[in-house]
A and B are shown apart, each in its own frame.
Chain A
Amino acid sequence: MTTPRKTTATRAGLDHALHTIEDGVLRLGEMVDVAIQQALRSLAERDTSLARQVVNADAAVNRLRFETEEACLALIATQQPAAGDLRTVVAAMNIVSDLERMADHAAGIARIVLRMGDEPLLKPLIDIPRMAEACRQMVRDSLEAFVRRDAEAARAIAGMDDTIDGLYHQVFRELLSFMVEDPGTTTRALYLLFAAHNLERIGDRATNIAERVVFMTSGEMRELNPEPRDTAHLE
């Protein structure tokens, strides 16, 4: 078994650069977690100033995403990473893109709150907050799997996306029946549907992150949740 000799300054520089990138990913993850949490609270509590905060915070997310991508680019250009290092950098670039999109979706929910204004919620929120919690859990789990390079944990995350999809379809059916029974509820139903849709997309993005973690550790690129062939249950 070869024992690595004392690290060269170059290798230490590379490790430092990787650390910075990993840091960027985790900070973005935190920002996404806050955005989801606050967007849902603004919806539940009809808090338009909180909603505005979420929308405004999106700029910082975009900035950090680009900073982290640039760090990845610089590392590739100056260090010619290979093997595990290369897969890590490529995975990180994709992950920050997914995280940025997640934050967009959270901001999308906040924008719905702003658009709703004073209109009362169509119905008490039950499944939508569940979806949000599941999303936050998926984000936390996928980033932990990233840090620990744990492909098994990453693969397990796909199961949570099924839960979110299930809840979404429930929300869909429920709101649909509202709209069918009383077309006057359509606007308010659609607000909630779009909010749920944003959360469903966040779940998909979290699955993407999990796929990237699997790729990073094993070199295997594979969809974790292939499209179900039977979509009849959507009717």
Chain B
Amino acid sequence: MDANGRPKFEVEDLDFFYGPVRALRQVSIRIRRRKITALIGPSGCGKSTFLRCLNRMNDTIAGTRVAGRVLLEAEDIYDPEADVVELRRRVGMVFQKPNPFPQSVFDNVAFGPRVLGLASGRGELEELVEKSLRRAALWDELGGRGEEPAMSLSLGEQQRLCIARVLAVEPEVILMDEPCSALDPIATLKIEDLMRALSQDYTIVIVTHNMQQAARVSDFTAMMMLDESRSGTIIEFDQTRKIFTLPADQRTEDYITGRYG
């Protein structure tokens, strides 16, 4: 199977433990490249935990353990030999609350490239920053105010700055954990527009509580829920269109029609 036929991620029988607690049970999913995949489900069902498994962010939490495989381009990211720093460059993350560094816009975006040595010289760096800010639909709005402190931007702009920061290190995948929860409706729509544009080049996985957003923006949707043993698992995964018009599982239907919790 060539690169275009193969999914970006193949997750196989993933179990995840916080100490003795099994938070994820036998999660298996194939995430398609250059598509937007949404993870929906009730609070606490393991969506964010699963998202963080895709770039090993959970490693930073003490006492966590993983079983099963997460293949990025057919290579297991949990292989003991795997380069985790490189993984997190390839698989970037945007969080619910925008978290720019307390520095200028420019320095925020330049941080990653500087650390990774992606640009040789100021000129290249400036090009890279501009490209990232343009890609994040922020360049025009800033109008050259690169030296402006990041914290003086609106929340919506800050979130796009965080996206630009991820883009600056030239990732393949962008993970988004409820990226619009803190934003007003207009800022939200701008981020959704941006996601659609970015999905031409990047694979996007988004966790969202907002079902209309999942329906609007994603190509595929995975419905997660706690099973009888209170571990999170995927109960249904399909094209978004199908999930929202004719879900196969009654639990999915109950959730998206508001009959469940």
A and B: interacting chains: yes
Q: Within the complex, what minimum Cβ distance (angstroms) separates A92 from chain B? A: 15
Query: Closest Cβ of chain A: how far from B134's Cβ, in Å?
Result: 33
A83 vs B258: C-alpha distance in the bound complex, in angstroms?
Answer: 11
Q: B153 in the interface, Cβ–Cβ < 8 Å? A: no
Contact of B258 among A2, A14, A219 (CB under 8 A): A14
Q: How many residues of A contact B (CB 8 A)?
A: 17
A86 and B260 form a contact (CB under 8 A): no
B118 within 8 Å of A by Cβ? no
B242 nearest in chain A by CB position: A219
A8 near B253: Cβ-Cβ < 8 Å: no
Report how far A77 CA is from B117 CA in the complex, Å: 51
Cα–Cα distance between A82 and B253 once the two chains are bound (Å): 8
> Which A195-235 residues sit within 8 Å CB-CB of chain B?
219
Q: A80-B212, A219-B246 are in contact. Are A85 and B260 (CB under 8 A)?
A: no
A2 touches B247 (CB 8 A): no
- Contact mask for chain B residues 238-260; partner A; CB cutoff 8 A; 1 contact, 0 none: 00000111110001111011111
Known: A11-B258, A82-B257, A83-B253. A2 touches B225 (CB 8 A): yes
Cβ-defined contact, B254 with A86, below 8 A: no
When the two chains form the complex, which single residue of A2, A83, A219 contacts B257, counting CB atoms closer than 8 Å? A83
CA distance A219 to B239 in the complex (A): 15
A2 partner residues in chain B, CB cutoff 8 A: 225, 251, 254, 260
Contact with A along B79-112 (1 / 0, CB 8 A): 0000000000000000000000000000000000
Bound together, the chains give a CA A8 to CA B261 distance in angstroms of 8
Is A84 touching B257 in the complex (CB atoms < 8 A)?
Answer: yes
Question: Is the C-beta of A7 less than 8 angstroms from some C-beta in chain B?
Answer: yes
A172 to B245, CA, bound (A): 43
> Are B254's CB and A4's CB within 8 A?
yes
Whether B246 contacts A8 by the Cβ 8 Å rule is: no
What is the CB-to-nearest-CB distance from B225 to chain A, in angstroms, rounded to a whole number?
A: 7
Hey, which chain A residues are within 8 Å of B225, CB to CB?
2
Contact of B245 among A10, A14, A83 (CB under 8 A): A83
Separation in Å of the B206 CB from the closest CB of chain A?
A: 18
A5 at the binding interface (Cβ < 8 Å): yes
Q: Is the CB of B256 within 8 A of A82?
A: yes
Q: How far apart are the CA atoms of A227 and B254 in the complex, in Å?
A: 38
Most buried by A among B247, B256, B257, B260: B257
Asked whether A5 lies within 8 Å of B261 as measured between CB atoms, the reply is yes
Residue B211, interface by CB 8 Å: yes
Instruction: Pick the 7 closest A-B CB pairs, nearest first.
Output: A219-B246, A11-B258, A82-B256, A82-B244, A83-B253, A5-B261, A4-B259
Q: Contact residues of A with B, CB < 8 Å? A: 2, 4-5, 7-8, 10-11, 14, 80-87, 219
B interface residues, Cβ below 8 angstroms from A: 211-212, 215, 225, 243-247, 251-254, 256-261
